Amino acid sequence: MARAANPRDQVAAGDAREIIAGSDIRVVRQGKEILVVPNIAVREGEVVAVIGPNGAGKSTLLAVLACLDFPERGRVFFRGTEVTKRNVVEIRRRMSVVFQEPLLLDGTVLENVELGLRLRGVRDGPRARAVEWIRRFGLTGKEGQAVHTLSGGEAQRVALARAFVLNPEVLFLDEPFSSLDSIARQELLRDFRRIIRDTGVTAVLVTHDFLEVRLLATRVLVLSRGRIEAEGTPESISNDPLWGRLAGLH
């Protein structure tokens, strides 16, 4: 379960399958350590679910791995290259993040889905790619609609299309389904699962919901009070009494 060798050596050795890795990460807020992770790595093709009780540091861990926050201590590597303030924009452009809320920008569905491509200066048919992803998330016909007229489920589909259109090397999802009502959620989960399978995208999924873990994850990390308390497959974790105690599930 735990990796025996020094993670830095591994990274230095350049494990080609490791997309994002962190070593010796510590995040402090108001004098309190809210995240302490000696080492973590996400390999190609994995869907890593991060679960744990509220305030466990799940979103903090995701923000660090998605290069949105720099930890007080420790280093983050993207494909063996250390993430620095200098190269962070370039690295962020090789990943995508979807949050709990859609966080769309004022404009149309198409404008939102195209946005990431435009920010990257993609000249080669961003529109066609956006239209394709709008279709895959079942929103064909709504391209020109203003996003503030969409339902919550539709808006979250736009957010997902906006992330997928970028063809990310790793996709970060911070409870992307939790604010939807149960019908919209089930429908979206079904579509999402198919798309994940089809694309084989590497992903990190923060969630509260064990159903999502079972449906989507290949590996599970259990986080509590800022520390990784357990790691395993969805099956092994769901049978682990520790998880039941931590999450109050079972």
Name the residues that contact other proteins, by CB under 8 A: 63, 66, 68, 70, 85, 89, 92-93, 96-97, 99, 101, 103, 105-108, 110-111, 115-116, 119-120, 143-146, 162, 166, 172
- Rounded to the nearest whole angstrom, what is the least distance from the CB of residue 105 to other proteins in the complex? 6
Output the six-digit token pair for 165: 């259109």
> Least separation, in Å, of the C-beta of 161 and other proteins?
13
- Identify which of residues 31 and 241 has a Cβ nearer to other proteins in the complex: 31
Sign of CA dihedral 187, 193, 195, 196: positive
CA distances from 164 to 57, 72, 127 (A): 25, 30, 14
State which residue, 18 or 111, has the beta carbon closest to other proteins. 111
10 Å CB burial of residue 80 (0-12, 13-18, 19+) is middle
Q: How far is the CB of 227 from other proteins (least distance, A)?
A: 24
Shortest distance (Å) from residue 2 CB to other proteins = 30
- Backbone angles phi and psi of 74, in degrees to 5: 100, 170
Residue number, 25 or 228, with CB nearest to other proteins = 25
φ, ψ dihedrals at 173, nearest 5°: -130, 120
CA distances, 171 to each of 19, 95, 204, 224, 235 (Å): 11, 6, 6, 23, 23
Give the residue with the Cβ less far from other proteins, 21 or 134. Answer: 134
Least CB distance to other proteins at residue 86 (A)? 10
Residue 93 or 193: which CB sits closer to other proteins? 93
